[in-house]
Every structure is written in structure tokens, then in C-alpha cells.
Structure 1
């Protein structure tokens, strides 16, 4: 087996807990454009794909307007609703200290990715960020993962794509990386397992065990 040198991370729902922010942003927008038609659980299906994909399917003519409405609310409420997942900071710090190359590959706009990373003090650990506005085709298309790997000077077989949604797993599979799902995904472990990731993380420090990094849980 080729030695793993590179880790590609999704952001939302994987490294930072933006679930409440995303759900609230969707409900705020949907209730404005489609009053009383959507409940909280209806929003889960929209989490993962790009906003363009989601809102275009709902109403192609008003998609841009809805995205702007969503993003305005999202930015305004970002810092109040975003929280950290347990063990993430310590794990990412340990990976950095052990020389792993790391990138964020997200379907969010780059500036919003950076906002979340800075809020949770993770920005210092990532040399490469690939956001929605950096690519033509978002995950699960291999373009964003290939772009991140190229920037890091890594090959697909040296990397693991880690994420909470099928876009991450299929994106890794389409690119030729190993894949890891996170059991804390809002869609549930069972949902992710149907896409056959190579690994399933119960907590983020499990990644250290997979990579056989000894000194870990500080």
C-alpha cells in the first residue's frame, strides 16, 4: 500500500459543526420564497450539494436571488451558530506536526471557508483551500480534489478524502483517493456507508490510528 502523505478535508459537518447554521439559513430562505412548504428535516437533502445545484432545482429563475438571500443570512449569523467538533483541533494540529500535507475541498465559497477556519483557529494548519469559486465543477466531480492534490504536489493514491456527505466519498472515488466518512454526519452513518468509504471515523482522532500516528490524544 502506498504511504499516505496527504489529507483532503471537507469543511462543513466534517471539521466544523455548521449544521445549525446551514439548516437555519435554508429555512430562512425557503420560508421566504416558499412559505410553510418546508420543515427542518426536508432541509437535510440540501446539505452537501452546492447552493447553485440546490436552488436551481427548486426554482431556476430565482436561483441567484435565493442564493444571495441565503448567503446574507448565513454570513450575518455565522459566528453565533458555528461550533467545533470534539477532537478536531487537536487531531489537525497533530497531523500538521507530523508533516502531513492538508487541504480543504469544499462546495462553499472560499471566503466563507476561510471565515469558518479562522473562527475555529484551524486556518493556520491549511496551506491549500479549494472552494466553489475555484472550480468549474464541484464535488463529486474530481476537479476540486485534483486541484488540491496538484497544489500540494501529491498523487491521488497518496491521499484520503474525508467528509460527511456522499459528494466527498464519490469525489474521492472519482479521483482515485482513499475515502473516509465521518459517523457524526447529520445524514447518519448508515447513509454514508451505502457509498462504501474505505474508512468510517467515529471521532476525528480515529484518523490518527488509521495513519498509525503514535503520540496523539493530548
Structure 2
């Protein structure tokens, strides 16, 4: 992985469990889709473990590989229900608005790379009056291959006009760690999701933080 060359010019974030908690919406949408397909409903705790995975991978994790033929229908039903409820059932973490404002004041450019649809992220940010805070948002509809393929992250870096060694990718999952590794970008895991610290031990990380507010404690960010 590239070693950081201070100062940090850009920070790119994952969304779910990094900037926001959409777990109640995800639980609702996954069980809606499973019910419509006649598959057994999943426990809330098991669904939370799938956040950060693609919908086909989430389906396999919840009901097994023998149901992969339902992947397309599952995704379609999930999105159908998500268009109705996901924005209202997603809450930004309390520390996010203040943290984002502070990073902007430091002159750091911000972006988001997520498995969620960009239009949904934009809707949530508009509600929170943070639309202008993130210069780049790369969502599901913007790339042909999803994380951990690094194409979305590399596109965000290019649009932010930042060298890879001058930026961070911040996320909560092993998928995010793999994405940063493949993009050769410094990765900072946050423990605001369901992934434990030990899960990141096999990855080259810059540091591990409790949540995104602790970015402001890093000397490389404060300059």
C-alpha cells in the first residue's frame, strides 16, 4: 500500500455504518424481498452482518448458495421497497455533520464510495443539508463492478484530483479494506459498524478509529 504523504488532500468514505445507520431499512427491505420470494425471513442480527456486501452476496449469506437463482429478483424487490422506506429509515451518526464541517474547514476534499444507489445517498444528504459537503459520490449505478473492485474508489480519487498517496479511504467493513488494498490507497477502518477490530488484522491499515470523529485527532489531517 502507498505510504501517506502529508498533508491529506482528500478523504473518501463508505456510507453504511461509516457515516450512517441504515440497518433498520436494510432489515425491512431484505425481509420484504425474502417474503415475496417465499424464502424464510432472516434474523435482524444476521441481516446486520450483511451490510456492506452486495445484494447477491447478502442473499447467499442469509439463505445459502442453493438460492442464487433468485439473485436478480431479490435485488429488484429490495430496491422496490428501499425506494419507499430507506431514506426515512436511515439516520446519520450524530457526530457526522460536525466532523464533516470541521474537515471542510481544514481544506480537505470529501467523497463517498458506496454500494448504495447514489440517488439514495443524495436524498439523505439533502435531508441533512449536507449536499454540498461531498464533492464526489460514487454509487451502485455509477460502476460496472462493485466493491471490492477498486474502480469506484479510483474514479473518486481522480474526480477529487488527488494523488492516491494523499488520501484516505474510511470504511467499516472487510469489503472496504479489500477495496482500498486493491486501489493501493491508505485505509482507515472505523468500528462504528458490526465488524470487530480483529477482522482488520490481516490488512495494511493506517490506523483504526472508533468512529469518523476521531479523524480530527490525526496529525496528518490537522496538518
Shorter-chain TM-score: what band? 0.7 to 0.9
Using the size of structure 2 for normalisation, the TM-score is 0.86
CA-atom RMSD in angstroms: 2.2
User: 1:135 corresponds to which residue?
Assistant: 143
C-alpha displacement at 1:60, in angstroms? 3.9
Equivalent position of 1:31 in the other structure: 35
Matches within 5 A, 1:18-57: 18-36=22-40, 38-55=42-59
Match of 2:222 among 210, 213, 217: 213
User: Does 1:6 find its partner at 2:10?
Assistant: yes
> Is 1:103 aligned to residue 103 of structure 2?
no
Q: Which runs of 5+ in 1 are unaligned?
A: none
Equivalent residue number for residue 193 of structure 2: 185
SS of alignment partner, residue 180 of structure 1: strand
**Higher RCO (C-alpha 8 Å, min separation 6):** 2
CA contact 1:6–1:102 (8 Å) conserved in 2? yes
Query: In the aligned structure 1, how far is the partner of 2:38 from the partner of 2:205?
Result: 36
1:116 and 2:124 correspond: yes
The 1-side partners of 2:43 and 2:59 are apart by 16
Q: Distance in 2 between the 1:179 and 1:128 partners?
A: 18
- CA contact under 8 A between 1:184 and 1:202: conserved in structure 2? yes
* Deviation (angstroms), 1:209: 0.9
SS at match of 1:104: strand
Decide whether aligned partners of structure 1 residues 47 and 212 sit closer, same or farther in structure 2, where only a CA change above 3 A counts.
closer
The answer to whether the aligner puts 1:168 opposite 2:176 as a matched pair is: yes
Q: What secondary structure sits across from 2:71 in the alignment?
A: helix
CA offset digits 1:98-145 (Å, max 9, x no partner): 111111101112211212222233222011111111112221111111
TM-score under structure 1 length normalisation:
0.88
Q: CA deviation at 1:160?
A: 0.6
- Aligned residue in 2 for 1:89: 97
Q: In the aligned structure 1, how far is the partner of 2:211 from the partner of 2:173?
A: 16
1:65-111 deviations in Å (ceiling 9; x for gaps): 22121112112112331112121110111111211111110111221
Q: How many residues align?
A: 214
- In structure 1, distance between residues paired with 2:66 and 2:131: 34
Distance 1:58 1:89 in 2: 43
